[in-house]
């Protein structure tokens, strides 16, 4: 059994190799927005558990969250870099 984070990421298009390689060209905007919302809800609902998983996994991993909302445009730019 994997961690909560691994289990979620294993079942999302956000980290799918083909989708990432094509910069999500084949994913329509409503589906991408829905998936980003699902990811945000997952993180918000599991934040304490995720922090624990990250802390125990590696001292080099950091969780950055300001509690605000990131725009789809900004996320797209971050994924391209």
pLDDT digits (tens, 9 = 90+) for 22-75: 888 998 989 998 998 998 898 889 888 877 776 665 555 444 455 566 677 776
Q: Which CA distances in Å does 59 have to 3, 44, 63, 72?
A: 17, 22, 11, 29
Return the pLDDT at 60: 53
Q: Which CA distances in Å does 27 have to 3, 8, 14, 60, 65?
A: 26, 18, 10, 32, 26
Q: pTM score, two decimals?
A: 0.59
Rounded Cα–Cα distance for residues 31 and 56 (Å): 33
């Amino acid at each position: 059994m994997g961690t909560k984070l691994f289990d979620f990421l294993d079942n999302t298009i956000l980290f799918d190799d083909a989708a990432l390689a094509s910069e999500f060209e084949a994913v329509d905007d409503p589906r991408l927005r829905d998936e980003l919302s699902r990811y945000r809800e997952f993180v918000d609902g599991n934040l304490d558990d995720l922090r624990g998983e990250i802390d125990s996994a590696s001292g080099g991993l950091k969780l950055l969250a300001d509690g605000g909302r990131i725009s789809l445009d900004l996320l797209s730019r971050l994924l391209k870099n």
